[in-house]
Structure 1
Amino acid sequence: MKKQAITMALLLAGTTVLAHSGVKDPDVMNRMMGMSEMARQVKLLGSMAKGETAFDAAAGNKALEKISEEASDIPSLFETRATDPNSEALPVIWETFDRFTGHAQELERVSGALAGTLEARADLAPAMKQVGRACGACHSNFRE
């Protein structure tokens, strides 16, 4: 289960980078940049969880803070119904915007509540599971 949470979080992080090439709409690009920043933070947490980099409680807690901060921006980044052929955002976002923003608020809440709680490498897997679940809930419904 621990491996699944880490793998899911890293997969979510890795796919956003490929989506940026060729994006012309500035609103879509801003959204992608915000999502990519969250992906970088998830990747950092995953790298520490897997032992690829040394555990650093301060960096891990800061990553969770950054995820929470970026998540708080999601509703405003999607207010404009901007599209681009390279965007992975589904039209259902704007059809059920309250539900969509609820997922963003949940990610903000979860990651914000976890920020400051990482004290040891063992704390990473449960934290990543919660963050991954919050990210996945939105991605499974609102992203290609």
Structure 2
Amino acid sequence: MRTGTIIAALSLTIASAAFAHSGVKDPQVKAWMENMKSIATETKTLGQMARGMTPFDRDAAEAALASLEAHAARIPDVFARPAEDPLSEAQPTIWTEPEDFTRAATALRSAARLPVETADDLRAAMGAIGSTCKECHGRYRQ
């Protein structure tokens, strides 16, 4: 049940991310929003498989996880310098606590590396991914 709740919350995040991008002026903010949008897209694909909304496909899951990991690896770089835009939801703690922020991105990368041989494995991985997203957004996103 907990994994399902996390996956549903991630789906809501995906929908709100698309709306948030319209009107962004700062190219730095746009870059991190685009990176997060890519993570959300992969998370949606994985979440649909984990919830049984689409059939489990190991190759597709592994491809989505690899993409998610690659985008997670970019998080410290796209947030390297503070940027301001009225539509940004980034908290200043990203730049006042850069080591902790980088650790959170690393935790997401680690969760994306979990093996997914079966749908049950994917559900476990999504639980870990969802927890890292929730923790990071709770601390670093308005």
Q: How does the TM-score come out when normalised to structure 1?
A: 0.91
**TM superposition shift of 1:101:** 1.1
Structure 1 counterpart of 2:131, which letter?
A: R
Distance 1:131 1:13 in 2: 14
**TM superposition shift of 1:136:** 1.1
Give the equivalent residue in structure 1 for 2:140.
142
Give the equivalent residue in structure 2 for 1:93.
94
Distance 2:15 2:132 in 1: 17
Structure 2 counterpart of 1:134, which letter?
A: T
Distance 2:95 2:106 in 1: 16
In structure 1, the gaps of 5 or more residues are none
Give the equivalent residue in structure 1 for 2:58.
57
What is the total number of aligned residue pairs between the two structures? 141
**TM superposition shift of 1:125:** 1.5
Structure 2 counterpart of 1:49, which letter?
A: A
1:5·1:125 contact (CA, 8 Å) conserved in 2? Answer: no
1:124 aligns with 2:122: yes
Give the equivalent residue in structure 1 for 2:29.
28
Distance 1:14 1:118 in 2: 26
What's the RMSD between the two structures over aligned residues?
1.3
Q: Give the percent of matched residue pairs that are identical in Structure 1 and Structure 2.
A: 38
Give the equivalent residue in structure 2 for 1:79.
80
Distance 1:13 1:128 in 2: 15
Give the equivalent residue in structure 2 for 1:70.
71
1:34·1:70 contact (CA, 8 Å) conserved in 2? Answer: yes
Distance 2:80 2:131 in 1: 24
